Amino acid sequence: MLADLGSKVNLGTVLEPAAYYLQRPLRLLRTYNRDKMRSDLIAGITVAVIRLPLSMAFALIAELPPEMGLYTAIVGAIFGALWGSSDQIITGPTNALSLLVVGALAGILPSGTAEFAIAAGLMALMVGVFQLIMGLARLGILVNFVSHSVIVGFATGAGILIAIKQVGPLLHLSFPTDNLFQAIYGFFVNLPQTHPATAVLGLGTMLVIVILQRINPRLPGGLFSMVLASVVVYVFGLDKAGVVVIGQLPQHLPPFVHLPLLNLDLIAKLSTGALALGAIGLVQTTAISRSMAMQTGQRLDSNQEFVGQGLANIMAGLFSGYACAASFSITAVNFKAGARSPFAAVFASLFVLLAMLLLAPLAAYLPRSALAAVLILTSYGMIDRAEIGRIWRGTRGDAVIMVATLIGTLFLSIEFAVLVGILLSFALYIMRTSTPRVLAVVPDTNFKHFAHQPDRPQCPQLGVVDILGDLYFGAVNHVEEVILANLEQQPEQRFLIIRMNHVNHCDFSGIHMLEGVVRTYRDRGGDVYLVRVNPSIHALMSSTGFVSLLGADHFPNEDDIISYIFQRVLDPAICIYECPVRVFKECQNLPKRVDLTPIPHIREFSEMGIIDISPQKLWQSLHNGHDGLPPLVLDVREPREYRQGHIPEAQLVPLPKLMGADVKLPNDRQIVLVCRGGRRSRRAAQALRQIGCMNVTVLAGGMLAWEAAGLLEAIE
């Protein structure tokens, strides 16, 4: 089996794109110049100043040592930038992913232990492998099927949870935060035990940040407030008065860590969380990179971005970090600071590393409440109320996905909530693509374009439908049901034009569906025509024999199709004597001698006692012998039509004559009315019933059905 598989897969087709994606840094170096360096250095310094405190704060969300946030920021940004696609995004620890990490690990290992930190690194490695495989396999397009509502719902729920979880460290309170209700109850019960000094530092830090942001949004409020809080702790010795501090950070490069790669049991337990982290990280990164590209005009490669994120997570896991992704707030700072290439992210990482090595001793006095204050403010920024409102006012499906993801994030397992949101996105996509709109269309008032105008009448002989979607296995049943439902509503509409200019894909199920529609219309004595068929779909139709079944002449030019059918296919007598509307341009000059009495539906005919007779039964009644008189066959067509072909036993009584004169008909014989397709026969039957002829029958399908049954040749 492996040999057969190897013979089918060209190894070169796999290795060639892999080599291309992995050579990204070399291509960047070849095009880099000094003109970009100054802008990138300034952007790197700006990003580092903001990123230094946030990286430690994000690690605390994941209940990991703060240095792991710094390691992730340093390693993740370098590999994410050099092997990614965007020139502006910054990869590293984020609010949302940090919350996902602790949610995925909480039920497996106790937080605060070395095993917990190692498991976080292993999960980052698993996330990176998943993302790298996605990129090398060129599956970047899959991220397009995840609704933006998943990100908004998760970010909103994550912001609420992060704020709740940081209230305890902000006030030096201890209460469980496993679920929302428990956290709210625990807060109010334990509020009297607030530690005054801790609360003053935490709330003061928040106040300083807000004031600085009001003065100038570009000021590094987070870094300045945390330095100020550390100075206050040092000067007043608050670390000895019960204020919890971070402790001194290590002064060395991110260390390599040996991960338990052979612990299959642990890997199995981490797999669900890793999948959720990998998916949400890719969706978040893609959304951010596209947002930047809209402003810069850069062309992006989703597969290259997947490779960059994969390598960033792999290396972060190996060098004492945890799962990472692009950060919107940090990326926005990088962009506004003038970053012109991915090297801005590299410079930012080097500056964070330098600051960590030089300022590590100062962290010994950094109060935990100050970091909690920074996190509460950043979590508030995660709740995009404007975007929530837009989604809520938009489509119902997107709103459902957003609300479901939000509720799941707040009350369920976080990774499960993310996966539910992603699955709902796929379900919504499937629902939308499996129920494409199939619209009955008519020409506009200028007869230049077809449009769906439900208030305007359709032609009683010819229907035109527009399929707005693909004909794949998941959609064909819906398309067929709509077409047949339209036929049920317009039973005399024996001819159909299908416009396929919006059909970009058709599989074998679509061919089968079209074959069924063609058979249905031809069984009624009608036919089907296709216009504006995509060349690739026409090739499929030809290779599967559908073109031979339908006929090559049934794919006419759309500009000529109405004239062709009007002159060669439709019954002009119906247009003149039966049709009260002028739908097409070709109808406009026709004389209209119309009896506007509505024709009952076929179901109403049966309720009135007027039944149909099949061509075969009529032939048998005329030729196989009978006890009484044979049926009287009245042909209500025009003389010209009668001369072109008729039932030999039929008497010609055109419909205008039958309805306009005092016609005497026998009461002791069955009367069978015949026309071209059945419409005029039904009108005649209705009129005869009104004057007392009760034994009236209609030839089902008219002469078209008679000829389709081969009975003209049988008589001749």
Q: Is the pLDDT of residue 181 over 60?
A: yes
CA dist 421 and 403 (Å) reads 9
State pLDDT tens for residues 69-81: 999 999 999 999 9
In sequence order, the β-bridge partners of residue 466 are 439, 499
| pLDDT for 166 | 84
Q: How many CB atoms lie within 10 A of CB 490?
A: 17
Q: How many CB atoms lie within 10 A of CB 484?
A: 14
Q: Is the pLDDT of residue 249 over 70?
A: yes
In the chain, what percentage of residues exceed pLDDT 90?
27
State pLDDT tens for residues 672-681: 999 887 778 8
| pLDDT for 608 | 63
State pLDDT tens for residues 125-169: 999 999 999 888 888 777 767 777 887 887 788 788 878 888 988
pTM over 0.75: no
**Domain boundaries defined on the chain:** 2-384, 437-587, 602-715
Look up the CATH architecture of domain 602-715.
Answer: 3-Layer(aba) Sandwich (3.40)
- Residue 2 pLDDT grade (very low, low, confident, very high; cuts 50, 70, 90): very low
Instruction: Please compute, for residue 41, the number of CA atoms within 13 A of its CA located in the half-sphere on the CB side.
Output: 6
In sequence order, the β-bridge partners of residue 183 are none
Q: How many CB atoms lie within 10 A of CB 380?
A: 12
Question: Where in 324-433 does DSSP place strands (E)?
Answer: 325-326
Whose structure tokens read 């230049």? Answer: 448
CA dist 123 and 426 (Å) reads 25
| pLDDT for 178 | 67
CATH 3.30.750.24 is held by the domain 437-587: yes
With residues binned 3-state (H G I as helix, E B as strand, rest as coil), the percentages for the chain, rounded to 5, are 65, 5, 30
- Residue 604 pLDDT grade (very low, low, confident, very high; cuts 50, 70, 90): low
Contact 165, 441 (CB under 8 A): no
CA dist 428 and 419 (Å) reads 14
SS3 at position 671: strand
CA dist 508 and 541 (Å) reads 9
∠ Cα 389 392 394 (to 5°): 110
The DSSP-derived string for 301-323 is: -HHHHHHHHHHHHHHHHHTT---
Contact 284, 327 (CB under 8 A): no
| pLDDT for 479 | 93
Closest to 383 in 3D by CA, of 365, 409, 360, 356: 409
SS3 at position 609: coil
| pLDDT for 714 | 42
State pLDDT tens for residues 500-545: 989 999 999 999 999 999 999 888 778 999 999 999 999 999 999 9
- Helical segments of 608-661, H only: 615-623, 639-644, 655-660
Spatial CB neighbours of 515, under 8 Å, sequence gap ≥ 6? 546, 549
602-715 matches 437-587 in CATH topology: no
State pLDDT tens for residues 84-98: 989 989 999 988 889
